[in-house]
Amino acid sequence: MNTLQSSTCLLLCTAVLSGCDPPLPKKKSAQASGIPVEQAADWPEGTVIVVGNEPILASEIENWADTIALVEPSHSRPDHLRKALTNLVLHKKVARQILPEECERARIKAVRALEDLRSGSGISKEGPQVVRVTGAWNDIEQDIGLDRWGASRGQNARNWQLLETLGGWSVMRASMTPAEWLPNSDVTIEHVTFYYLEPATMKREIETALEKLPIRVLDKQWREILPVYYDHLVTNESP
């Protein structure tokens, strides 16, 4: 079990959301969908898709596509981009909008923890603590997730870094990485995660919230990347 489509824990960025995306249906063109594509105007430069009031930049998707390519090297670049969008970007943007104030508070706590860990002073004994885990991205028991696994491949991965994960913010570093990366390589990471959504229930919360949010495609080239599964949410109406 080493591909995103065959694994039951592939979807999104943490194991708690495993299996919540349906198989990708056969793609139809934007023109065939009958849904007009609007132009980017009042959004940050590089925005290609908007879900609710959260912009998604092309760079955010492209940054994760290399991780998807490592897991599924035989698949095409558009497929890598599609799965980076649906598995690692889109649902984080939805999660932010469920409890936005709690999301910001969790981010602030994570930033403080990052500063403390980088300074060597250690984090507060109140709240989440640093844990050390070893496994691959699809190891449910270790709950590493595709995003922490992918972040372990960066040039500065052995230094403490801030990472947005699904329903929370992680401070992490990689303490052991493979000499040669394979689709199911084991890594050892240390991380402390500040959740603003309850891990046990956030899958259902995010799915419910997504069904109520409009999706707008601002760049027609990216209309082909968005799976047709989300066509019923795509609209040109302003939020």
- Partnered with residue 174 across adjacent β-strands are 189
Task: For the chain, 239 residues long, give each residue's pLDDT as a single digit of tens.
Answer: 445 543 333 334 333 333 333 333 333 344 444 444 555 557 999 999 999 999 999 999 999 999 999 999 999 999 999 999 999 999 999 999 999 999 999 999 999 999 999 999 888 888 899 999 999 999 888 889 999 999 999 878 999 999 999 999 999 999 999 999 999 999 999 999 999 999 999 999 999 999 999 999 999 899 999 999 999 999 854 34
Contact 194, 168 (CB under 8 A): yes
pLDDT, residue 40, reads: 54
Per-residue CA distances from 141 to 27, 73, 192, 230 (Å)? 34, 25, 16, 30
pTM of this structure: 0.80
**What phi and psi, each to the nearest 5 degrees, are found at residue 232?**
-70, -10
What count of Cα atoms within 13 Å lies in the side-chain half-sphere of residue 76?
4
Would you call 105 helix, strand, or coil by DSSP?
A: helix
pLDDT of residue 163: 97
pLDDT given for residue 41 in this prediction: 58
Domain boundaries, the chain: 29-97+212-227, 100-202
